[in-house]
Amino acid sequence: MLIIIFALLVPLMPSTAAADNHAGVKDVILLENVPEVESSIVDNEVHLTALHIYEDGHFEIADDEKLTWSTTNKNVAVVDGGDVTLSGHNGRTFITVSDGTYRDRIAIDHKPAKKPDKKKPSFEGKVVKQQGDRYEIIEQAIEGMTINEKIGQMLMPDFRNWEGENVTEMLPEIEQIVKDYHLGGVILFRENVVTTEQTAKLVADYQAAAEKYGLLMTIDQEGGIVTRLQSGTDMPGNMALGATRSSEISYNVGEAIGEELNALGINMNLAPVLDVNNNPDNPVIGVRSFGESPELVAELGVAYTEGLQSTGVAATAKHFPGHGDTAVDSHLGLPEVPYDKERLMEVELYPFQQAMDAGIDAIMTAHVTFPKIDDTKVISKKDGSKISLPATLSPKVLTGLMREEMGYEGVIITDALNMNAITEHFGSVDAVIRAVKAGTDIILMPVGLEKVVDGLLEAVETGEISVDRIEQSVERILTLKLNRGVIKSEATPDMNEVLANAKEVVGSDAHKQVEQKAAEKSITLVKNDDVLPLGPAVDEKIVVVGHSYSNSLYQAVRNHHENTGLIQASGPLSEEQLSQLESAEAIVAGTYTYNVSGRSENSSQMQLVNQLIEDLDTPVIGVGIRNPYDIMAYPEIDGYLAQYGFRQASFEATAATLFGENNPTGLLPVTIPGGDGNALYQFGHGLSY
C-alpha cells in the first residue's frame, strides 16, 4: 500500500532526475494548474502549456522540443505535445509533462454530464487542477520584481512616430525603452500597421524586446470608422451592427476581428465601445456606439466581446461610466454627464454591468466628469478654475463604483492620457498619480515616460501610493496575460510560419463574407416615396452628387449601372451643373457629417441637397454615409438610406440596395429627432421592398 501511495505522489513533486538543466530554472508547471487561469475542454480537446519557473519568479513557455508528455490512461485521453484529445471513455487520467529535471501533472476527467439531454446522453470532460504553493506563480513573480518592474507593467505608451517618421519597424531606441522601463504593453496605431507581413514582424520584434514578461500588444480595431489595420477586414462598425439587431452577426464580427489580430500577434483590442449614444449631438461616439438602447448595446456588445475573446484576444469595454450622452469631444475638452446614479445604472452603466458579468477582460475609463457620482473639485492648471474630477482620475468612480458596487475584478485601463481633457487641466505626472490612486491598472499613453516613471517612484517612496496598490494592479495584469497566453517563450517563433498564417487569415475571404453580410443587413431604408429600388434602362443616367466619399459612392453605384455620372461639389451647384441633372433618371446625394454644424440645413452640403430637391423634378435619394441623422437637414427628400460608415463594404451594400439586389432589413438603432422636438423617425424604424 505504501508503495502505491508513493507512486501516486511522485508525479506531483518536482523531480530531480538527471537531465538537461535550464539556467535559472527552478520548476516546470502546467499553466492550467495556476489558480487564476481558466481552462476548459472544447470539442473533446484541450491544449496544455508547460511553463518554466525561474529563480527570480518570472515564467516562460518551456521549449516543447525539450519536453516529454504522457498519459496514465489512454482510454480517457491521449496527449501529443500538449494537445490532449479525449477518447470518449469515462474515467480519469493524469497528463504529465517533464523536462527531464522537473515534472508536473494535471487530471482530466470524463463523465456523464450533470444535466444530460434525455434524447441524447451527453458526457463532459473537465480539467482538474493540482493544488499547492508551486502554482502561485503570480505571487512569486511579484515577489521577485523590483519596484521599477512593477511600475513598468502598468505602462502602455505609443510609438506612433519617431523623429517625424512613422514607426513601421523596430528601432534600436524603442527596443531600449521597452527594456529600460520594463514596459507591460504598447499600443499600435494605423501609422504602425501598414501591411500584414510588416505588422506581424513589428509585433514579434516588440515581444522579443521584452525581457521577462510578454507585452500586451494593443490596438483600437473597433471596426467601422475606428479601424487601424490597413491590410485587415474593416467591418461596418457598431451602429451598423445595431441596425442588424443580430447578436449572431455581432459575435461573428468580433470573432473575425479577433482572428486577424491574433494572427498578427496583437493580443488586446480596445473594443467594443459600450457607450449608449442617446445624444444625437455627440461629436466623438456617434456611429461607434451600437445605438441608443442600453439593452441593445448590452446584447450586441456582449456578443461582440464573446466572439473577440473566443480567439484569445482580450476585449476592452469603453468608455466607463459612459461617453454617449455628451456634446463635447474629450480629445478637445472636458465633457460632463449630469445624471444621478439611478439613471446611470439604468442607461449608461447597464451595458458595462452586463459585460462585467459576461467576463470581459478589461474596461477603459472616460475623461468625463460625473458630478452626481463624484463632486470633488480640483484646481485646473489651465486657468485656475475649479473643475470636477474626471472619471479617469476619480477613486469614487473607479474603486467605489466599478470595483465595489459593480463588482468588477478585471483590468482597468485609462483612455489616452495625452488627450486635452486631461493635459489641459492636470500635469502629466499628477494625472498618472491620480489615475493610479483612483484604481487604474494600465496607464495608456502617458505624456513624458521618464518624468512619469520618476513621479510614480517618488510617490511610492513618500507613501502617497502604497506598494500594495501597485501590486494589486500587477496581479490583475499578470492574470490577464496568463489567461490570454501573453507569455514569453523560450523557443524563438518560426517567422515563416507566423507570416504564412497571418497572410492566410488577415483579410481572408471568410472574413470578407462576414463583413459583407453585416453591411447588407445593416442598410436602413428610412424613407421611400416610391422611388426605390431603381430600375433604370441601360441608356438612362444616374448621377451621384456629393463631396466627402462621393467617389466611393459613385464607384459602387457605377458597378451596378454603367451609365452613372459624378458631380463632386461641397455646396450649391451652378446653373450649368443643374442643367446636366435635368435628364437624369435619378440623383443619389451622399452626405457626410460627424457634428451638429455639419448636419445643419445651413451648412453648404445640406444647402446643396435641398437645392436638388427644390430645383429639379428628378427623384433625389439621400445616403447618410456616416451619421443617420443627416435627413434632419433635408426631410423632404424622396428617399433616404443610412449606411453608418465609410468603409467599402457599406458603399457596396448601399448600391446593391439602391438597385433592389439587397432587400433592406436594417432598423434604426437611434431616434432621428425632428425640428419640432418630436421624433422625425423613431428608434426601430426601417422599411423594406
370 burial type by CB count under 10 A (0-12 exposed, 13-18 middle, 19+ buried): buried
The single-letter DSSP state of residue 45 is E
Burial class (CB within 10 angstroms; exposed 0-12, middle 13-18, buried 19+) of 378: middle
| Nearest-angstrom CA–CA distance, 57 and 136 | 10
Single out the residue of 287, 394, 286, 292 nearest to residue 334, CA to CA: 394
- Cβ contacts of 165 within 8 Å, gap of 6 or more: none
Residue 527 backbone phi and psi in degrees, to 5: -140, 140
Distances from the Cα of 659 to the Cαs of 98, 536, 647, in angstroms?
64, 9, 19
Any residues with CB less than 8 A from the CB of 628 and at least 6 apart, and which?
239, 287, 524, 526, 642, 644, 668, 670, 672
Neighbouring residues of 81: CB distance < 8 A, sequence distance ≥ 6: 64, 67, 69
Selected catalytic residue, list 205, 331, 547, 685: 331
Task: Tell me the CA distances in angstroms from 586 to 70, 563, 582, 651, one per residue in order.
Answer: 72, 12, 9, 18
Active-site residue flag, 415: yes
Contact residues for 23 (Cβ-Cβ < 8 A; gap 6+): none
Which segments within 216-301 are labelled E, that is strand? Answer: 216-219, 268-269
The greatest distance separating any two alpha carbons of the chain, rounded to the nearest whole angstrom, comes to 103
Backbone angles phi, psi at 454, to 5 degrees: -60, -40
Residues making up the chain, counted from first to last: 689
Q: Which residues, listed in sequence order, are joined to residue 93 by a DSSP beta bridge?
A: 108
- Alpha-carbon distance of 685 to 666, in angstroms, equals 9
Cβ-proximal residues to 116 (8 Å cutoff; 6+ apart), any chain: 122, 123
Distance CA 372, CA 262 (A): 40
CA-closest candidate to residue 372, choices 346, 396, 404, 406: 396
Q: Which helix (H) or strand (E) holds 626?
A: none
CA Rg, the chain, in Å? 28
Identity at 142, one-letter amino acid code: I
User: Which member of 99, 104, 325, 415 is catalytic?
Assistant: 415
Name the strand (E) or helix (H) holding 50. Answer: strand 50-54
Could you tell me the three cell numbers for 87? 477518447
Buried b (16+ CB within 10 A) or exposed e, 601-631: eebebbbbbbbbbeebebbbbbbbbbbbbbb
Asked if residues 102 and 118 have their Cβ atoms less than 8 Å apart, the reply is no
Q: Give the residue among 478, 540, 530 at the shortest CA–CA distance from 689.
A: 530
Give the Cα-Cα-Cα angle 447, 451, 452 (nearest 5 degrees): 65
Whether residue 511 lies in the annotated active site: no
Q: Which residues pair with 107 in a beta bridge?
A: 94, 128
User: Catalytic amino acids?
Assistant: 331, 415
